[in-house]
Amino acid sequence: MPTTESSSNVSRSPLIVTTIGRAAPLGATVSHEGVNFSLFSRKASAVELLLFNDEADARPTNVISFDPFENRTYHYWHVFVPGIRPGQLYGYRVHGPFDPDSGLRFDADKVLLDPYGRGVVVPQNYNREAARQRGDNTATAMKSVVVDPSAYDWEGDKPLRQPSTLTIIYEMHVAGFTLHPSSGVDEKTRGTYRGLIEKIPYLHELGITAVELLPVFQFDAQDCPPGLVNYWGYAPISFFAPHQAYSSCKDSLSPVNEFRDMVKALHRAGIEVILDVVFNHTAEGGHDGPTLCFRGIGNSAYYLLDQDRSRYANYSGTGNTLNANHPIVRRMIVDSLRYWVEEMHVDGFRFDLASILARDTSGKLMSNPPILWDIESDPALAGTKMIAEAWDAAGLYQVGSFVGDSWREWNGRFRDDVRSFFRSEDGSLRRFVDRILGSSEIYRWKEREAEQSVNFVTCHDGFTLNDLVSFNLKHNEANGEGNRDGADDNRSWNCGVEGPADDPAIEKLRNRQVKNFLTVTLLSFGMPMITMGDEVRRTQHGNNNAYCHNDESVWFDWASLEEHGDVHRFVKLLIQRRLLRDIGPERQRMTLTQLISRGLKGWHGVKLDQPDWSDYSHSVALSVELPEENLLVYFIFNAYWEQLEFELPVIANDQTSWHLWIDTYLDSPQDIVEWQKAPAILDRTYRAGPRSVVVLWTSHGTQTLQETGYATVRHPVDANFPSSGNLCSHD
């Protein structure tokens, strides 16, 4: 039987007598007697388990050497250590050839994380560079933590499984939501899972039904340019451990428990938790990157290698690409998803650069990628929301063609075409119309429900909504890359002045454009997503790639809630009405084609039934029937830079009238009113202001205006619009 070693590089500690252990399950598995450790490494010549008392220990307290005959089954190295309890810190040293030309990068000087470790601690003196250079890095290395997943009282909590038709996604950053001093969160809990809990009433009042959290898997915050910090978290180094820095307590088990506290609290408020997961690359980077985990355990198994096997295939744009369809990596991904659903009660996942998962070991696109079908067919994941970012950094774009029956997709074409329409691009109208109807030209062939399309205009990657209407160009100089990073195709429009403007007319136009985008996002067919702070016009000062800043330039400034309270109110009322939809079993089963054919009554221009589909048209109207609610809704989208007067459909019942719910041209609070308090419109036409969205509704019922209690108004828009001046185009 193996025993612990005691030598000059091992802190003095009593010897531990171990037993052979088991190959399954992988990772550190807790029992009453101790912990079973199991690690996959096909080509290792020797493996050592290192035990630590403290995250900054320069030497392990115990080193347990695996016997290559007794403690190895096939490619799995395993040992049982009695007496070990949750909270124990550990790591591995894995011996083998360092032969990059053959795809092998073993380095026994490096302390390696357990790929299945449920917890990670990061010493204050963590040094990414030490993991890249030659020599021992024990004192500055991350360590894994033994976790007992069963040691938590969920108090009856379970994933919510809310229908997609009732889902309003709020993409947010766990830390950035409360780090700003204006958040009102206690200084000790700002930027943590517990800090987010304190702000749940805000999310609940806003009306969102799901938070989509930027990466919370343990990531390497030093994976960024010198002097900056990886803020977004798209640099994973563990697919099972919650990020330690988001815990308000610094003991080794607090991240797991505090994350669960957050999930439980969100569920109690009726809010689902969707995680942004990164299974396309790791923080170990390119050929000159650090050895933190996978590179030193099974480099050629975990990563796609180039024809020159000393180099990595780079479809992620970050230096390496995970070999997602390798059997061991497929198992790890599915095991990770199961863990987060079964043990952490997560409701869904958004897969970063998901198209990479469709590539084979040579990087070619597969028609039926095993990993995607593994995820789709796993019964433990049934009912879990799966959302794909259906493209990658090497040009593969699969929006509308991503493999699988249950996957939702981030609809990047919705983002682009809605942006193009509201900056009055010629030729954008037809595409815009298709996007607001669920992108039927993209998804109709699949006979799927509208919610396959996740509709968004902004996300973490790119301009905020405020910056989309305030900047023509990106301003990423602070990133230290000469403003070369970040997307160049933003389809933004600054409304006449680059950056902040003192001109009230420009500010009013920007506010209107923000409301236009929000209206279309939240009322279009599909699953809507808005980005943290867009409801109060959060700005990043023109930086469209702010991944490497962790300061007030990217945090949620809660003072904006007062400054832009009209936008916040606007979003609340939009969401309230969307969630009032009748979404009975019949509605949930309807495909996109059925929805359109059942509800769409007609397209119009300024004249009824005469839409202008020319490339130079910038306006359209449509009528949609909501039979479950006995309503007819009339939408006017005017991206033209002058006012237009639209004929309204004649209502058969002369005892009813049209009611004005939204007109983004009007000042708050007339821009949107509570649905049942919408004033009646007695005219047969409606004058839509320049660059505005109007929504009117009428009931097919027989109630009189006196019975409903509605007020009556004529055109609330002043006929004498101010001159547009230089605000008439996006150029």
Instruction: State both tokens at 283.
Output: 């923080």
- pLDDT tops 70 at residue 596: no
What pLDDT, on the 0 to 100 scale, is given for residue 250? Answer: 86
Residue among 198, 352, 392, 663 flagged as catalytic: 352
pLDDT of res. 717: 39
H or E element at residue 623: strand 619-626
Task: Band the pLDDT of 594: cuts 50, 70, 90.
Answer: low
pLDDT tens digits for range 368-395: 999 999 999 999 999 999 999 999 999 9
pLDDT band at 630 (very low <50, low <70, confident <90, very high): confident
CA distance 150 to 32: 12
Q: Sorting pLDDT into bands at 50, 70 and 90, what band is 482?
A: very high
CB-based contact 288:310 (threshold 8 Å): no
If pLDDT is split at 50, 70 and 90, which confidence band does 457 have? very high
Assign 426 a pLDDT band (cuts: 50, 70, 90): very high
The 712-713 sheet, strands edge to edge = 600-604, 619-626, 631-638, 692-699, 658-663, 680-681, 712-713
Among 161-165, 233-237, 298-302, 688-692, whose mean pLDDT is lowest?
A: 161-165
Interval 16-26 mean pLDDT: 93
pLDDT for residue 597: 63
Using one digit for the tens of pLDDT, what is the confidence trace for 33-61? 999 999 999 999 999 999 999 999 999 99
Of the candidate ranges 7-21, 523-537, 649-663, the one whose mean pLDDT is the lowest = 7-21
Name the pTM for this structure.
0.94
Q: Is 44 helix (H, G, I), strand (E, B) or coil?
A: coil
Least confident of 32-46, 199-213, 251-265, 598-612: 598-612
The pLDDT assigned to 674 comes to 96
Q: Find the mean pLDDT for residues 220-230.
A: 96
Task: Return the SS3 of 514.
Answer: helix
Average pLDDT, integer, range 486-506: 97
What pLDDT does residue 93 have? 98
Binning pLDDT at 50, 70 and 90, where does residue 240 land?
Answer: very high
CB 45 within 8 A of CB 96: yes
Quote the DSSP letter at residue 702. -
Is 352 catalytic? The answer is: yes
In contact, 663 and 649? CB cutoff 8 Å: no
pLDDT of 653 over the 80 cut: no
Pick the residue with more confidence: 520 or 14? 520
Whether the pLDDT of residue 587 is over 70: the answer is no
> Above pLDDT 90, what percent of the chain?
85
Residue 601's pLDDT is 81
What's the pLDDT score for residue 627?
81
- pLDDT, residue 410, reads 98
Residue 593, pLDDT score: 64
**Own/partner pairs for 552-555, CB < 8 Å, 24+ apart?**
552/180, 553/478, 554/173, 554/176, 554/231, 555/176, 555/177, 555/179, 555/180
Q: Establish whether 389 is a catalytic residue.
A: yes
- Report pLDDT for 655: 67
**446: pLDDT strictly greater than 80:** no
Confidence grade of residue 450 (pLDDT, cut at 50, 70, 90): confident
Q: Is pLDDT at 583 greater than 60 in this prediction?
A: no
Summarised one tens digit per residue, pLDDT across range 61-115 is 999 999 999 999 999 999 999 999 999 999 999 999 999 999 999 999 999 999 9
Taking residues 197-223, what's their average pLDDT?
Answer: 98
Q: Which among 57, 389, 449, 557 is annotated as catalytic?
A: 389
Query: What is the spatial distance between Cα 493 and Cα 516, in angstroms, rounded to a whole number?
Result: 14
Q: How confident is the model at residue 16 (pLDDT cuts 50, 70, 90)?
A: confident
Comparing 631 with 537, which gets the higher pLDDT? 537
CB 171 within 8 A of CB 582: no
Average pLDDT over residues 490-511: 97
Q: What is the model's pLDDT at position 588?
A: 54
The answer to whether residues 680 and 728 touch, using CB atoms and an 8 Å cutoff, is: no
- pLDDT at position 704: 32
Is pLDDT of 582 > 50?
no
Query: Distance between CA atoms of 344 and 339, rounded to whole angstroms?
Result: 7
On the question of pLDDT at 589 being above 90, the answer is no
Structural domains of the chain sorted by starting position, each given as residue range(s) with its CATH number in brackets: 4-145 (2.60.40.10), 164-287+317-578 (3.20.20.80), 600-727 (2.60.40.1180)
